[in-house]
């Protein structure tokens, strides 16, 4: 009750309204030993239960409309998922429906129906390989042991960190090498199938664009970036037979992963709002095409709530028009 009362004070209705947007990626069937901080169904169920008691969870487009007209309800929040993982439909959707909570799913279209994101290729290769050492000297990582789960977790983190900002072709070459070295078949059912996209639409969830191939826009040419933004919108609209008006920047850090010219491209493409991964909350004056998002990682209810309250102290007016 105290968290709800404090949220009411920090996130009032109307002029002083604040919009907290939460971001999720995967919701596993069971805890993932490689990523113990990622939620599984049980933990996600608890989190959505807390959120639905503390906040007025709105569809993101409705929340943005209220933000623009200074008519947000008290304790306004929206929930979002990035990338288009199949477990969002298999595991998260039933929980959301049970709690009557809406959400927006940002989908990178080229991975639908059997695709795999580059980071998942690295993760799954290191998870399943029978190799006991990874020679990462070519990437300045030294020789990494893979005997224990902790070793594998560290190796995944090191490889992802050193390759995230490589040029796309160079990064793909690295992923291909890791995949060949691992010598195991990698899963091709991590991402949504076309019909699951329709399941989300039919369940009255929102679907937003997240580019075609999830490039870091700042690393793409302007022509590529514009094509990625527009094509993902067109593809989703054709599949869903409805307008797609929301966008999420891949990776999403302002000035690192995207910049002002990409914000202009997104606005010109006709998106009514876009979300970043800057922390904080939106208020009147926040740029609707750079709304911040945040998710507490804490397991316990009190700490999870406390971190949401702290996040409410940081409004996004400082990124306005960036
Ligand atoms: Zn993403």
Q: What is the CATH number of the domain that holds 35?
A: 3.20.20.370
What distance in angstroms lies between residue 13's CA and the mean position of ligand 1's atoms?
A: 31
What distance in angstroms lies between residue 129's CA and the mean position of ligand 1's atoms?
A: 25
Tokens of 235: 């593809």
Looking at the fold, whether 48 and 77 belong to one and the same domain comes out as: yes
| Residue finishing a domain among 138, 158, 182 | 182
The pLDDT assigned to 317 comes to 58
Looking at the fold, whether 105 and 140 belong to one and the same domain comes out as: no
**Which residues make up the environment of ion ligand 1, defined by Cβ < 5 Å?**
82-83, 250
| Residue finishing a domain among 166, 182, 198 | 182
Looking at the fold, whether 170 and 271 belong to one and the same domain comes out as: no
Looking at the fold, whether 217 and 263 belong to one and the same domain comes out as: yes
Determine the Cα–Cα distance for residues 50 and 1; give it in Å rounded to an integer: 10
What distance in angstroms lies between residue 210's CA and the mean position of ligand 1's atoms?
A: 7
Looking at the fold, whether 159 and 22 belong to one and the same domain comes out as: no
What distance in angstroms lies between residue 16's CA and the mean position of ligand 1's atoms?
A: 30
The pLDDT assigned to 9 comes to 84
What distance in angstroms lies between residue 83's CA and the mean position of ligand 1's atoms?
A: 5
The boundaries of the domain holding residue 140 are 118-182
Looking at the fold, whether 89 and 225 belong to one and the same domain comes out as: yes
| Residue finishing a domain among 182, 204, 237 | 182
Determine the Cα–Cα distance for residues 92 and 273; give it in Å rounded to an integer: 23
What distance in angstroms lies between residue 97's CA and the mean position of ligand 1's atoms?
A: 23
What distance in angstroms lies between residue 12's CA and the mean position of ligand 1's atoms?
A: 31
What distance in angstroms lies between residue 250's CA and the mean position of ligand 1's atoms?
A: 5
What distance in angstroms lies between residue 2's CA and the mean position of ligand 1's atoms?
A: 34
Looking at the fold, whether 18 and 62 belong to one and the same domain comes out as: yes
What distance in angstroms lies between residue 64's CA and the mean position of ligand 1's atoms?
A: 21
Low-confidence ranges of the chain (pLDDT < 50): 318-322
Looking at the fold, whether 178 and 228 belong to one and the same domain comes out as: no
Looking at the fold, whether 204 and 89 belong to one and the same domain comes out as: yes
Looking at the fold, whether 43 and 151 belong to one and the same domain comes out as: no
What distance in angstroms lies between residue 117's CA and the mean position of ligand 1's atoms?
A: 9
What distance in angstroms lies between residue 214's CA and the mean position of ligand 1's atoms?
A: 6
The pLDDT assigned to 168 comes to 83
Place of tokens 């606005």: 267
Count how many domains the chain has. 2
Looking at the fold, whether 253 and 209 belong to one and the same domain comes out as: yes
Looking at the fold, whether 277 and 299 belong to one and the same domain comes out as: yes
């Amino acid at each position: 009750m105290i968290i709800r009362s404090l949220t009411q004070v920090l996130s009032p209705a109307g002029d002083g309204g604040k919009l907290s947007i939460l971001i999720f990626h995967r919701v596993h069937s069971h805890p993932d030993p490689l990523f113990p901080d990622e939620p599984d169904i049980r933990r996600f169920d608890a989190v959505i239960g807390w959120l639905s008691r503390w906040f007025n969870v709105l569809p993101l487009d409705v929340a943005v409309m209220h933000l623009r007209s200074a008519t947000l309800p008290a304790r306004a929040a929206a929930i979002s998922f990035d990338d288009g993982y199949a477990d969002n439909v298999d595991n998260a959707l039933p929980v959301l429906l049970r709690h009557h909570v809406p959400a927006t799913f940002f989908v990178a279209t080229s991975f639908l129906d059997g695709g795999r994101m580059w980071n998942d290729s690295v993760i799954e290769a290191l998870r399943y390989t029978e190799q006991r050492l990874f020679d990462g000297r070519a990437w300045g990582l030294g020789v990494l042991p893979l005997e224990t789960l902790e070793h594998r977790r560290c190796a995944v983190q090191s490889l992802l960190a050193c390759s995230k900002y490589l040029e796309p072709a160079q990064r793909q070459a690295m992923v291909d090498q890791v995949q060949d070295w691992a010598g195991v078949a990698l899963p091709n059912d991590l991402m949504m199938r076309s019909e699951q996209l329709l399941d989300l639409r039919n369940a009255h969830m929102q679907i937003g664009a997240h580019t075609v191939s999830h490039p870091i826009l700042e690393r793409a040419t302007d022509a590529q970036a514009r094509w990625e933004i527009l094509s993902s919108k067109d593809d989703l609209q054709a599949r869903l037979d409805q307008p797609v008006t929301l966008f999420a920047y891949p990776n999403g850090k302002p000035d690192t992963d995207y910049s002002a010219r990409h914000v202009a491209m997104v606005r010109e493409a006709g998106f009514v709002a876009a979300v970043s991964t800057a922390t904080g909350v939106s208020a009147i004056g926040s740029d609707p095409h750079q709304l911040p998002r945040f998710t507490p990682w804490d397991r316990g209810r009190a700490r999870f709530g406390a971190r949401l309250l702290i996040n409410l102290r940081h409004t996004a007016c400082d990124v306005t028009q960036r």
